Amino acid sequence: MLFYLIGGWIFTFKFSLEDAVKELRPQLCYQCMKCSSGCTAAKVVNNYRPHEIVALVKAGYSDELINSDVIWACSVCLKCVEYCPQRVSPFEVVMALRNESIARGRVPPKSFVEMAKSVLKVGHIQEPMYIMSKDFEEVSRMELGLPEMPKPKDFEKFKQHVLLVGFEKLKEVIRV
């Protein structure tokens, strides 16, 4: 764990679920289900209901949620953040659970692993692709006359910092 000493304050990039829960106050939730009624993911993913997730965290079942894949279904539409009359923000609760699951060394769904690998390799979630046009031509950035996609200049330093701000455990698990 790395600490940064700044003007007498100790700031750490380590994430803790307890702190997040304290800050997000899911105990204020009174289960009005407004979040689930608007939720994009709840309409298409069977067992994903934000109000249930908040209720489970409130009742102390965070471990079970962290070990389940369902927390990765959120579509980041942020409607629950706006709808909640208690300002609980189920979105932030889900993100805190995801962060904790990564910190405990669980592997996220495959696409997230691919994106994280790419960030550690080129600094972007994916590399420029060949795209099939309507005339069945495969085109790349170069063929379209677009300039090259920039990468972080000092890549080693960038990678070191990415690992420091929370990718360390994930890197160990996915073995990049």
Which one, 28 or 151, has the nearer CB to another protein?
151
Which one, 33 or 139, has the nearer CB to another protein?
139
The DSSP result for the chain, as a single string, is --EEEETTEEEE----HHHHHHHH-GGG-----HHHHH-HHHHHSTT--HHHHHHHHHTT-HHHHHTSGGGGG-----HHHHH-TT---HHHHHHHHHHHHHHTTPPPPHHHHHHHHHHHHHSSSS----EE-TTS-EE-TTTTTPPPPP--SSHHHHHHHHIIIIIHHHHHHHT-
Which one, 1 or 6, has the nearer CB to another protein?
6
CB of 60 to another protein, least distance (A): 22
Residues that bind another protein in the complex, under the rule CB under 8 A = 4, 6-7, 9, 11, 13, 15, 40-41, 43-45, 69, 72-79, 81-82, 95-96, 98-99, 102, 108-112, 115-116, 119, 123-129, 131, 133-135, 139, 141, 144, 146-147, 149-154, 157-158, 161-162, 164-167, 170
